[in-house]
Amino acid sequence: MQLRELDEVHDELLQQGVAIHAVTAETGGSNAVKARLAERDSAVKYTVHSDPEFKLLLPRTDAAPGSDEAHSFFVKREIEASQYGGTYEDYVLVQPALVVVDKSGAIQQKWSWNSEPLVHVEPKEEMTFVGSMGGAVLVSIRPETADLGPSIREGRDVKLKGKGMLQIIAEMPKVKSPKEFWGTLVRATKSMVAFITA
């Protein structure tokens, strides 16, 4: 899972002057989100922001504030998370994305399902196969964690990687029931991550 990979490179990125901030639209507040991550063996050292109102999403400068187009860089969908029990609530999920900004707030690089090489992939659904990424399913295509530091240092876009369905299933935590399996699969797809260089 990308969150765990990011935690593994956290200290190395800090030495490079890069701070990681994970932003999720999941409700309940940052502490609740971090507690849920810890319950799923995904405790992280870096800051996690709960942002169900999308206040931290990078807006387009050519769109009216608050309009649907203002956040069209990001792919969103409603998720009925309450079906998983506990403290989960239904919310609008933001699919994985990456934004790198410098100390002044200037954007250094950005990536989402609505940017190259995925901009023309349709439908924008988790299990859509992406031929240009070796047939990986869309939900698995993420920035290559090991390339984050080098891409920031070199001023270029981060490399992407994707996984096939069998690899995704093999990497999932052990589950006890089909409902828990599907819940784990869906929850594993929901984080939007922003990197802020210091």
Whether residue 34 contacts residue 73, with contact meaning beta carbons closer than 8 Å, is answered with: no
The predicted pLDDT at position 183 comes to 65
Residue type, position 124, single letter: K
**What are the Cα distances from residue 170, in Å, to 36, 133, 161?**
21, 19, 17
CA distances from 33 to 21, 26, 28, 93 (A): 13, 7, 7, 13
Identify the pLDDT of residue 195: 42
Q: Which residues of the chain have pLDDT under 50?
A: 1, 189-198
Alpha-carbon span 82 to 25, nearest angstrom? 14
pLDDT at 188: 52
Strand partners for 136: 130
Predicted pLDDT of residue 39 = 85
Closest CA to 113 of 146, 154, 160, 79: 160
What are the structure tokens assigned to 115, written together?
Answer: 């940017």
What does pTM read for this prediction?
Answer: 0.79
Closest by Cα among 30, 36, 46 to 145: 46
